[in-house]
Structure 1
Amino acid sequence: MSLKLMHTSDVHLGAKFSFLGSRAHEQRTLLRSTFASLIDQALSAKVQLFVIAGDLFDTPFPAGVDVNHVQEQFGRLAAADIRIAVTPGNHDRLETGSVFAGTAFKSLEDSGHLKIFREKVEAWDVPELLTTVYGTATKERVSRRSPLDGLKVESSQKTRIGIFHGSLDITKDDGNAPISKDVLAKSGLDYVALGDWHSTLDVSAGNVTAWYSGSPEMLQPAQQGAGRVLQVEAGDGKASVRQLQSGKRKVYNHSLNLAEQVLPAAVLEAIKKHAEQQDFVVLTVEGTKKPGGVFDLDSLTRLLEEQFFYVKVKDDTKLELGEDVLKQFPETTIAGRFIRSLQARHTGDAQQDSIIDEAIQLGVSLLLKTDDSD
């Protein structure tokens, strides 16, 4: 018998989104809406188990509006007789007075529809589904302990699901709550639902199917691979996974080279072919510009900000500084001292002097950008 489940994690309800300024509340509202849409998808797919692998909330002490919203959405699942399994993550970790240590979800737990993991490793047996769910509660913001420490999976005809929050050891950085891929491969689980990484990723090991669901909605403009939820069918020692779209916003990265001499209106039209009004736009401007040139990056930025939810402009341009311009920097300024210090290193060797001149151009460009940002 196979089990149909839905896997999400890292929703981060209540996140501050400080980089969005006055629009932060719109993104927090969107997170609640996206979470409700996950419940819609679970009901439509008639899943039997809804899994949250950590960081449902952005803090152990979420605002009432977010707790009430989750209670309402969990109630919809319970009304359809769908079981819910939640492991606290490092953001909504289990600690004294925290949301998962209290009684906010007691009625759902008492009904048998909800399991919140509160120990190092627990096994939740669900006879009606012929399933055992293994999970671990996170109790620290940063931990060097693996959430799989102490895991013992019994041989059984039941479907065996694991829910853990931590970082797989496939990078040089061990990360938070490190998970060994070798241990994962030997776990004996049919499917492992992972949380902590915000991008969807298949990290299956050996015969064990394991995935990071990623955040169901984008949380940062630099983030790629978020905005999905996973629908899983597991049993008989195997699992199949479908990625479903859940995010309402996306990130569009656009590059502009000043050598193309494109007007701001044309840049806007090019971006609008790929990004919609609710999206994040990251514009990288490259190339060489002359001091006092006609290109106005500030005006372009304002134009884009009127059209999209969030705009970030990365200025990677270089200034073209001739000898006449370099001489205009007084020796009493930082730029002036920098220029003269490097020029004094000219030796007459063409290759060496060329490197020095390039360093002068780059250094002065960076100094001028720093002055502009101040």
Structure 2
Amino acid sequence: MKFIHTADLHLGRPFTALGDKGDELREALLDALKRAVELVREEGADFLVIAGDLFDSNEVTGRLVKRALEILRGIAPTPVLILPGTHDLLDEGSVYHRNEFREAGNVKVFGLHGSTIRIGEAAVHGRANDTKRGGVHPLGELKPDPEARYNIAVVHASVEIEGKASPDDYLVNPEEIASSSMDYLALGHWHGRGEYSSGGTTAWYCGSPEPTKFGEEGAGSVLLVELSDGPPLVKALPTGKHTWLVRDFDLGMFPPGEPLESEIRSLGGEYVLLRAGIKGLLPEGRELDLEALEERLREHFFHLEINNAGIAYPLDEVESLFPEGTVGSLYVSRLQELIQEAQDEEEKSLLEEALYLGAGYIAGELEVD
């Protein structure tokens, strides 16, 4: 038995910061859903699981719901199992309470059609997200069916890892995964693909099939899961169209002018979105017009944004940043005194860096990470 595992499509995401190109990105999300359905056919999968956040909100348009259901019904009678997530949770105003889902044929929604759905030799268990209250442990509420050959759990939650999970999230911890007695745990909520297996349970985040923002490493695919007598076999299948890149460019390696422009241009592509950060010390006598730089390079990208949040000023230019008597002026004067009193080159280098960056923060030209 095999199935396709996807999640976090976020159909209807506004992409407001990207203007007219938001329309193209919203269409790309639907294209990713189409590709997932195509892969069900191509791989001969027995069903499709969507582990939460099929929609970006419960306020999506009826037209979008209709288009999504038309795509999903295209593989009938192959079952499509949808878990309501954090963005499209199963509350009173849920999109899944609309008439379109009452006669959706092969499309089943956990929470509306029960918490366990049998498909052949498999029992698929899902706990719908139904509240914005955090701290819920959905996996603990799901129990395997002893009569099923395969037991699959579907949850939309964060794995409890320090620094990655929030108390406001639905949560699952490694101990719960290990003791769940499930053959496979289909996770949704984190947009990057990753394995979180524990004990005898194989557990994966599939990641978003189409990236939705910068910083989503591991997005752009669905998972093909094959169940047999041994551990499940998991294979990533590409679905994404756009590539969202975040890159820093050090002026020490790529000075203003052709070296910098050539390096940025090398990452270009018709479907590439790039957030470029320029950092380092601006060489004396050199200027960097970011607006002009963006204008020259924009044609090489689907979307390009460049910021100078990491640029530091040469020492002889720092003094001119602030009027005398201001906080910035006092900061510069004090740091310059400390630099003169430095006991060795290492201390001097650290103080000079503090002067560059501190002056930039006070002037509002630098951002604190």
Same-fold call, TM > 0.5?
yes
Aligned counterparts of 1:327 and 1:281: Cα–Cα separation in 2: 33
SS at match of 1:370: coil
Q: 1:368 to 1:349 in 2, by over 3 A?
A: closer
Moved more, 232-241 or 33-42: 232-241
Residue in structure 2 matching 1:293, options 286, 299, 313: 286
Deviation (angstroms), 1:25: 1.8
SS at match of 1:77: coil
Aligned counterparts of 1:74 and 1:120: Cα–Cα separation in 2: 17
Give the 5 Å matches for 1:8-87: 8-78=6-76, 81-87=77-83
Are 1:177 and 2:170 an aligned pair?
Answer: yes
Deviations 1:181-210 (A, max 9, x none): 111112111111110000001111111111
The answer for unaligned runs of 5 or more in structure 1 is none
Give the 5 Å matches for 1:92-111: 92-108=88-104, 111=105
Instruction: Name 2:127's counterpart in structure 1.
Output: 136
SS at match of 1:218: coil
Are 1:304 and 2:297 an aligned pair?
Answer: yes
Tell me which stretches of 4 or more aligned residues in structure 1 moved more than 6 Å: 344-347
Aligned counterparts of 1:124 and 1:212: Cα–Cα separation in 2: 21
SS at match of 1:222: coil
Deviations 1:197-246 (A, max 9, x none): 00001111111111101000111112211001001111436311110111
TM-score, normalised with respect to structure 1: 0.87
Q: 1:263 to 1:140 in 2, by over 3 A?
A: same
Aligned counterparts of 1:287 and 1:262: Cα–Cα separation in 2: 10
SS at match of 1:104: helix
**Cα RMSD (Å):** 2.7
Instruction: Name 1:330's counterpart in structure 2.
Output: 323
Aligned counterparts of 1:153 and 1:371: Cα–Cα separation in 2: 53
Deviation (angstroms), 1:317: 1.7
Instruction: Name 1:207's counterpart in structure 2.
Output: 200
Deviation (angstroms), 1:288: 1.0
Aligned counterparts of 2:101 and 2:297: Cα–Cα separation in 1: 44
Moved more, 343-352 or 281-290: 343-352
Moved more, 324-333 or 222-231: 324-333
Aligned counterparts of 1:133 and 1:119: Cα–Cα separation in 2: 14
Deviation (angstroms), 1:159: 1.8
Aligned counterparts of 2:239 and 2:350: Cα–Cα separation in 1: 50
SS at match of 2:29: helix
Are 1:317 and 2:311 an aligned pair?
Answer: yes
Q: 1:285 to 1:354 in 2, by over 3 A?
A: closer
The answer for unaligned runs of 5 or more in structure 2 is none
| Amino-acid identity (%) | 28
Give the 5 Å matches for 1:253-292: 253-260=246-253, 262=255, 264-290=257-283
Deviation (angstroms), 1:355: 5.0
Are 1:246 and 2:242 an aligned pair?
Answer: no
Instruction: Name 2:356's counterpart in structure 1.
Output: 361
Residue in structure 2 matching 1:166, options 157, 176, 181: 157
8 A Cα contact 1:121 1:136, kept in partner: no
Aligned counterparts of 1:344 and 1:270: Cα–Cα separation in 2: 38
Deviation (angstroms), 1:99: 1.0
TM-score, normalised with respect to structure 2: 0.88
Q: 1:150 to 1:121 in 2, by over 3 A?
A: farther
Deviation (angstroms), 1:63: 1.3
8 A Cα contact 2:245 2:274, kept in partner: yes
Aligned counterparts of 1:33 and 1:205: Cα–Cα separation in 2: 33
